[in-house]
């Protein structure tokens, strides 16, 4: 019997469209893999096999009628529990939202369905999707399939862990401060944070978010191959005017020189030797493929990171802090307290000044990309953190947030970032982050494919045990 769960999404979709297998057979295989691998990692926290098989049957029926089943025909995927999926609770890892059942699909879910994807289940996130770790009081603790002693990342830790373990060919994630990019890094897969407005994604079962969330939060794909990232990304981008920020931008931009900037220690970032080695290796891979790589400083990240935190916390201070008290999740309480201590509450003028500076920072970055269409930066200053180390002490939290500068600094400008896994340090994944200008995900994917072709960790993997 073919182990379809080992195959990339591009190959699965081709097999189904060409009638060399059926979506139903692929779905049965995917569900069996979920049953086998998920108990060790707790990545998928809610699933209904009968619904998965019904979705697969609809794909098969469309193909039997001679219809186009979509670019992701029959591809098994997972959806993060913080977005609306009709008939399922949008828990966001919270006990207080365990009965908040969506009556309509978030546009990103609707687009994936229209593309023919088959949903396997819902993946875990920390409470409030707040951390780079993945534990909550409702769904429990997600483990990294490479090594349960290290974080699977967050907040899309369930999505990345599931994808690395072969539970679905693609995991949907969200990112406001690294929540796609960091889990991809920690789990040895690839993750794309798209440009603001690229992918329509809005939870219609809640009120619209505060301006910070609107400007910085995006949905995107986590996958084991760059080809699967591209396939999923393009499917997610389809038109949906329910999302006011959606932009009908072309998938392919104008030609750009194969020139990349390498920055190992942005603004003095304390980059570890193993991370630096991965960055220089990625640069050499590009050079071997005909790219020019220059080591130069990046535009500001620390200034944007401070404004990002201010805008992020403004949403909490405006009323979400009452939900923190209701949920009373120890991890979330600790992390929120540390973030508040690092980011004093602004007055109205401070808030307005932050939004004004956003334009200045974005201009600096876009001018930089005129010279260097792609930049190579650390995903984190460190290898993936020891699990739960952010809540050990204020000092540990402070070190971790400083190491995550490139995760927190980027979203303010709404810029895209692609994390490409490149190797292992023992059993611990490592990789790099590629950056480009607005709506230039095509450049990220082009560079990412070159880096991937020179070698990446073999996935999917069987989850390790402690």
Indicate which residue of 22, 80, 232, 377 is catalytic. 80
Indicate which residue of 22, 129, 155, 316 is catalytic. 155
Angle at the Cα of 225 (from 219 to 230), degrees rounded to 5?
A: 50
Indicate which residue of 22, 129, 156, 179 is catalytic. 179
Closest CA to 198 of 235, 232, 247: 247
For residue 184 the two structure tokens come to: 């991809």
Residue 22 is a catalytic residue: no
Residue 155 is a catalytic residue: yes
SS (H, E, C) the chain: CCCHHHCCHHHHHHHHHCCCCCHHHHHHHHHHHHHHHHHHHCCEEECCHHHHHHHHHHHHHHHHCCCCCCCCCCCEEEEECCCCCCCCECCCCCHHHCCCECCCCCHHHHHHHHCCCEEEEEECCCHHHCCCCCEECCCEECCCCCCCCECCCCCCHHHHHHHHCCCCCEEEEEECCCCCHHHHHHHCCEEEECCCCCCCCCCCCCCCCCHHHHHHCEEEEEECCHHHHHHHHHHHCCCCCCCCCCCCCCCCCCCCCCEEEECCCHHHCCCCHHHHHHHHHHHHHHHHCCCEEEECCCCCCHHHHHHHHHHHHHHHHHHHHHHHHHHCCHHHHHHHHHHHHHCCCCCHHHHHHHHHHHHHHHHHHHHHHHHCCEEEECCCCCCCCECCHHHCCHHHHHHHHHHCHHHHHCHHHCCCEEEEEEEEECCEEEEEEEEECCCCHHHHHHHHHHHHHCCCCCCCCCCCCC
Residue 393 is a catalytic residue: no
Residues designated as active site: 80, 155, 179
């Amino acid at each position: 019997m073919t182990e379809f769960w080992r195959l990339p999404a591009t190959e699965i979709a081709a097999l189904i469209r060409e009638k060399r297998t059926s979506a139903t057979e692929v779905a049965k295989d995917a569900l069996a893999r979920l049953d086998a691998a998920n108990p060790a990692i707790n990545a998928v926290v809610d699933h209904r096999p009968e619904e998965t098989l019904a979705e697969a049957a609809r794909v098969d029926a469309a193909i039997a009628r001679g219809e186009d089943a979509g670019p992701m025909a029959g591809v098994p995927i997972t959806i993060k529990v913080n977005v609306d999926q009709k008939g399922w609770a949008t828990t966001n890892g919270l006990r207080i939202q365990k009965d908040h059942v969506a009556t309509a699909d978030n546009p990103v879910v609707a687009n994936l369905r229209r593309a023919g994807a088959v949903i396997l289940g819902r993946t875990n996130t920390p409470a409030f999707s707040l951390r780079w770790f993945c534990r909550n009081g409702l769904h429990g603790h997600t483990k990294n399939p490479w090594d349960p002693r290290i974080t699977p990342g967050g907040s899309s830790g369930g999505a990345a862990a599931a994808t690395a373990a072969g539970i679905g060919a693609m995991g949907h994630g969200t990112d406001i401060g690294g929540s796609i990019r960091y889990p991809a890094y920690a789990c040895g897969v690839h993750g794309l944070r798209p440009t603001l407005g690229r992918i329509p994604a809005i939870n219609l079962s809640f009120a619209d978010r505060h301006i910070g969330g609107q400007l910085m939060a995006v949905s995107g794909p986590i996958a084991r191959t760059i080809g699967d990232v591209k396939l999923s990304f393009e499917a997610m981008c389809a038109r949906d005017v329910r999302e006011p920020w959606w932009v009908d931008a072309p998938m392919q931009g104008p030609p750009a020189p194969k020139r990349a900037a390498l920055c190992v220690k942005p603004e003095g970032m304390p980059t570890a030797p193993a991370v630096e080695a991965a960055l220089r290796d990625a640069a050499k891979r590009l050079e071997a493929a005909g790219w020019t790589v220059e080591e130069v400083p990046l535009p500001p990240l620390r200034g944007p990171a401070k404004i990002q935190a201010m805008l992020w916390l403004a949403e909490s201070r405006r009323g979400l802090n009452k939900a923190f008290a209701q949920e009373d999740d120890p991890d979330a309480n600790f992390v929120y307290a540390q973030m508040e201590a690092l980011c004093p509450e602004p007055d109205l003028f401070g808030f307005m000044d932050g939004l004004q500076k956003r334009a200045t920072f974005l201009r600096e970055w876009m001018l930089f990309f005129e010279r260097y269409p792609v930049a190579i930066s650390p995903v984190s200053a460190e290898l993936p953190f020891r699990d739960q180390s952010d809540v050990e002490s204020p000092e540990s939290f402070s070190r971790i947030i400083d190491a995550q500068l490139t995760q927190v600094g980027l979203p303010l400008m709404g810029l895209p970032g692609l994390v490409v896994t490149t190797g292992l340090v023992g059993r611990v994944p490592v990789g790099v982050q590629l950056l480009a200008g607005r709506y230039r995900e095509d450049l990220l994917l082009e560079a990412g494919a070159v880096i991937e072709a020179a070698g990446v960790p073999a996935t999917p993997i069987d989850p390790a045990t402690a």
